[in-house]
Chain A
Amino acid sequence: MADLTLRRALPADRERVLRWLQEYGVYLGVALLLLVNIAFTPHFLSAENFRTQAVQVAPVVIVALGMALAIGSEGVDLSVGSVMALSTSLVALYMGYGPWIALIVAVVGGAAVGLVNGSLIAFIGVQPIVATLALMVGARGLALVLLPQLEDIRDPGMATLGSGEFAGVPYVVLIAAALALVVAFVVRRTTFGRQLLAIGDSRPAAKLAGLPVRRVLIVVYVVCGVLAAVAGFLATARLSASDPTSLGNLMELSAITAVVVGGTPLTGGRVRIGGTVAGAVLIQLLTATLIKHDLEPSWTQIAQAVVIILAVYAARERGKR
């Protein structure tokens, strides 16, 4: 029987551990990193440090919320980073009318990109990765046409938004938290959220059940674009400058990482908002830890890769059953 592989039965415990890891591993990871830092990183336990970390992670969280919806619908949105750039260009151009008008224009710009994404996907049937890749290139191009070079933003309102805080918590962080709550509520409690999950899980079944598949998909990508535009607006406020060349670069990858590490399967049908937020925080903490211990930035990237592989492994092993 040389051709038979003899192996003992897979312990059922392993299955349970993997399931647990996919569900809660991201929280465990955050907790571990916090403990490690508290123990070994000097000055880690300071309000100032936490504030810095939170401010840095806020835009990623906001973009990742939209990404979670796109991935939950069995799609992906690669154009989010470019939408941030488009947003910052529009903000610079319309700042003359005041921050509110600038925000509205930026959001409309993000929505427009999302509308094009969604229409390509829902009506023409282009694969999400291809459709949003086109917009990823196109939107950044447009952003650079609108604003070819870096421009300083000197607006008191923007300055307050970027660096102000309420009860010790920066506005940017409060906004990200509020958006996360809203998106979580939408996913759980609205018809839109339920329909989104059904469409992500089985598109043919959702269609035959009479669900408005196209409308839902378009809304998903519009929301994704709007959230990216808001993130771009907030980043502009924090930097007090508009830089369409570099703003949002590789943001799509950070957002996808947060979603995946947070335990949302790429196969659609599930959206985990809490996990997504934790995923973004995990990556942020990991980066901060390595930087504070004077490791090269390249090590950060390698560490991120390891975390992503672990997350995908846990999801895969579970799916195999």
Chain B
Amino acid sequence: MAAANEPPERHGPDGPGGPARPAGPPPADARDVRDGGPGDAVPGARDREADDGVRIGKDVRIGKDGRAGEDGRDGAEQRPAVLSVRGLTKRFPGVLALDGVDFTARAGEVHALVGENGAGKSTLIKVLTGVYRPDEGELSYRGEPASFATPLAAQQAGISTIYQEVNLIPLMSVARNLLLGREPRRRGGLIDFGRMHRESERMLLDYGVRVDVRRPLAELGVGAQQMVALARAVSAAGRTDVVVMDEPTSSLEPREVETLFGVIGRLRADGVAVVYVSHRLDELYAVCDAVTVLRDGRLVHTGPLAGLDRLRLVSLMLGREMGEVRAEGLTKFTGDHGTGEEPVLRAEGLTRRHELHDVSLEVRPGEVVGLGGLLGSGRTETAKAIAGALPLGAGRVTVAGAPVRTGSTPAAIRAGISLLPEDRKSEGIVPGLSVRENIALAALPRMSRYGLVSEARIDAVVETFVSRLRIKAASPHQKVGELSGGNQQKVLLARWLAMQPKVLLLDEPTRGIDVGAKAEVQKLVDELAEDGLGVLLISSDVEELIEGSDRVVVLRDGAVVGELTGDDVTEDRLMEAIAAAAEPGTAPAPAPGAAGAKAAGHG
């Protein structure tokens, strides 16, 4: 087991890349390494450099080269292929989702699977895990041809999957969730709760989760729930050869991300093949050994990740030339907007038990105000409160000087406030309705007379926005649920723009959408601000937040703890504001908090 021996040897030379190579099971180790790493002392500084990507790439490469020295490049190639597909083709009505794709997952290797939305990543994963059956192509597992009739068959064969959304039973205890269906029993068939609790505690400790396993699962954070799901999947299979992770970090806290990376390191050390899907480049370079890039259902690139710099990777994903990407920068924001004098939105003293404490902020017309802070700092709650979607204990909201009744979405919308919610799939789109109906949804009363819908008016509005926002759909009558994430987000933008809002609240507008669509959404936000809209922008992507915002209000634990204006709107200052805001007990120096924020922040 050469693979199993590697990590400890890599551990030393890794240095700053430490968190990427957590060797042993205790994730605390990983954190220590990171904390000690000199390169992380001023993480913002590193990021400010123009050649940011390359340098991070170099850090990682040191680690890879170390390994290459032991194994040799060929050695890496010789790792046994566990799961591979050749010439995989999958069609859906009207769509060729995968077109002759080859993919190989090797034991002890973390393999990144990247591409824009609609590239075919999800389809490939679903074929690998038995959800879909391929139309053409060979699937081979442990060296033999295979075909999984159901996800269960794949799971039993040793392929575990964890998704963004956790599929567990929220009201059952953690232990029961973990061992559901194979609880330890006493004689007579009764569940042996004592043993069940001890076993599950031990299992979870391996994943860096220390919780009371008797509590309902719902009380755990999303990250811990994901760990429970992973522990369950891995242990249920008896023997796990492949773990597929589909955007596992999208709703994790920075600390939880590090725990996850620790677990990934352990899986790799155990010789498990990990397939890792993420939109966050930092993460890919932190944990992945190899990368496969898909575009429009075709294989574009596959090979080791080391030596492939960020710009090259982005250009492979986008299918554009390097110069172009570089010229356009990593985000589409131009940054500064001329701002009017009188605030178009003023929120004062927003207060809600346990969630918001006296939050006040202003947005002027033509201004993009960023809302910074870690996950759970009250950003989403602030936006929802302003949009009337959360009842408030106290607080006032005014739009262009006129007070708005709080706690009422229709009242906020009438006043000109529009919210693009964080959870696009369950709170944004209406999946079963067409693109057209989704765009028209909020503005229906305006496009009707005596309660009768005017089809002509809807057509006009839909046509305008489909072309202005470049929404890609087979036809306006296609179901929104069938579109890619980026196009869904554009449909939602169109829905709100049709309302001619004065204030746009954007909660993670580019999360989970591909690089190309992300750039387009960013450009749109810019244009809208230039047209005089007031924009409140929430983003976990620090780069996006900084480049997009004219001003950043920083939140912590539901309260405003700082504001960055003018030249202070930099990643550095934001890190400092967030780091300074972190609990003194958990962050001895600004570095770990800030580093963590960055790790989780890049999209």
Q: Which residues of A contact B442 (CB under 8 A)?
A: 209-211
Which of A195, A202, A207 is the one whose CB lies under 8 Å from B409?
Answer: A207
Asked whether, in the complex, the Cβ of B133 is within 8 Å of the Cβ of A10, the reply is yes
* A-B CB contacts (within 8 Å), total count: 104
B135 interface residue per 8 A CB criterion: yes
Q: Which residues of B contact A296 (CB under 8 A)?
A: none
Q: Which residues of B contact A4 (CB under 8 A)?
A: 141, 146-148, 153, 157
Residue of A nearest to B139 (CB): A4
Q: Which residues of B contact A206 (CB under 8 A)?
A: 430, 441
Asked whether, in the complex, the Cβ of B430 is within 8 Å of the Cβ of A269, the reply is yes
Asked whether, in the complex, the Cβ of B432 is within 8 Å of the Cβ of A201, the reply is yes
Asked whether, in the complex, the Cβ of A195 is within 8 Å of the Cβ of B444, the reply is yes
Interface string of B379-415 (1 = CB under 8 A from A): 0000000010100000000000000000001101110
A191 interface residue per 8 A CB criterion: yes
Bound-state CA distance A202–B432 (Å) is 9
Interface string of B572-583 (1 = CB under 8 A from A): 000000000000
Bound-state CA distance A230–B432 (Å) is 32
B375 to chain A, nearest CB (A): 20
Bound-state CA distance A198–B149 (Å) is 34
Q: Which residues of A contact B430 (CB under 8 A)?
A: 197-198, 201-202, 205-206, 269
Residue of B nearest to A6 (CB): B147
A192 interface residue per 8 A CB criterion: yes
A318 interface residue per 8 A CB criterion: no
**Given A9-B134, A190-B452, A210-B413 contact (CB < 8 Å):** yes
Bound-state CA distance A210–B445 (Å) is 11
A148 interface residue per 8 A CB criterion: no
Asked whether, in the complex, the Cβ of A204 is within 8 Å of the Cβ of B144, the reply is no
A39 interface residue per 8 A CB criterion: no
B427 interface residue per 8 A CB criterion: yes
**Given A190-B452, A191-B444, A208-B387, A5-B149 contact (CB < 8 Å):** yes
**Given A202-B429, A207-B389, A211-B441, A5-B150 contact (CB < 8 Å):** yes
Bound-state CA distance A154–B188 (Å) is 69
Q: Which residues of A contact B133 (CB under 8 A)?
A: 7, 9-10
B378 to chain A, nearest CB (A): 18
Q: Which residues of A contact B148 (CB under 8 A)?
A: 4-5
Which of B153, B419, B428, B495 is the one whose CB lies under 8 Å from A3?
Answer: B153
A98 interface residue per 8 A CB criterion: no
Residue of A nearest to B91 (CB): A12
B437 interface residue per 8 A CB criterion: yes
Which of B93, B427, B451 is the one whose CB lies under 8 Å from A208?
Answer: B427
Residue of A nearest to B387 (CB): A208
A277 to chain B, nearest CB (A): 22
Count of B residues near A, CB < 8 Å? 43
A51 interface residue per 8 A CB criterion: no
Asked whether, in the complex, the Cβ of B444 is within 8 Å of the Cβ of A194, the reply is yes
Interface centre among A9, A197, A202 (most CB of B within 10 A): A202
Asked whether, in the complex, the Cβ of B153 is within 8 Å of the Cβ of A5, the reply is yes
Interface centre among A194, A205, A207, A212 (most CB of B within 10 A): A205
Residue of B nearest to A199 (CB): B430
B265 interface residue per 8 A CB criterion: no
Interface string of A1-45 (1 = CB under 8 A from B): 101111101101000000000000000000000000000000000
B433 interface residue per 8 A CB criterion: yes
Asked whether, in the complex, the Cβ of B149 is within 8 Å of the Cβ of A7, the reply is yes
Q: Which residues of A contact B141 (CB under 8 A)?
A: 1, 4
B379 to chain A, nearest CB (A): 16
Residue of A nearest to B444 (CB): A191
B453 interface residue per 8 A CB criterion: yes
Which of A1, A7, A191, A209 is the one whose CB lies under 8 Å from B495?
Answer: A209
Bound-state CA distance A229–B599 (Å) is 62
B426 interface residue per 8 A CB criterion: yes
Q: Which residues of B contact A12 (CB under 8 A)?
A: 91, 93, 135
A272 interface residue per 8 A CB criterion: no
Asked whether, in the complex, the Cβ of A269 is within 8 Å of the Cβ of B432, the reply is yes
Residue of B nearest to A215 (CB): B410
**Chain B 277-314 residues near chain A, CB threshold 8 A:** none
Q: Which residues of B contact A189 (CB under 8 A)?
A: 452-453
Asked whether, in the complex, the Cβ of B135 is within 8 Å of the Cβ of A192, the reply is no
Bound-state CA distance A43–B526 (Å) is 74
Q: Which residues of B contact A140 (CB under 8 A)?
A: none
Write 6 A-B pairs (CB below 8 A) sorted by A numbering.
Answer: A4-B147, A12-B93, A189-B452, A202-B427, A210-B442, A211-B442
Chain A interfacial positions (CB closer than 8 Å to B): 1, 3-7, 9-10, 12, 189-192, 194-195, 197-198, 201-202, 204-212, 269-270
6 pairs of A and B residues whose beta carbons are closest in the complex: A210-B413, A5-B149, A269-B432, A201-B432, A9-B133, A209-B442
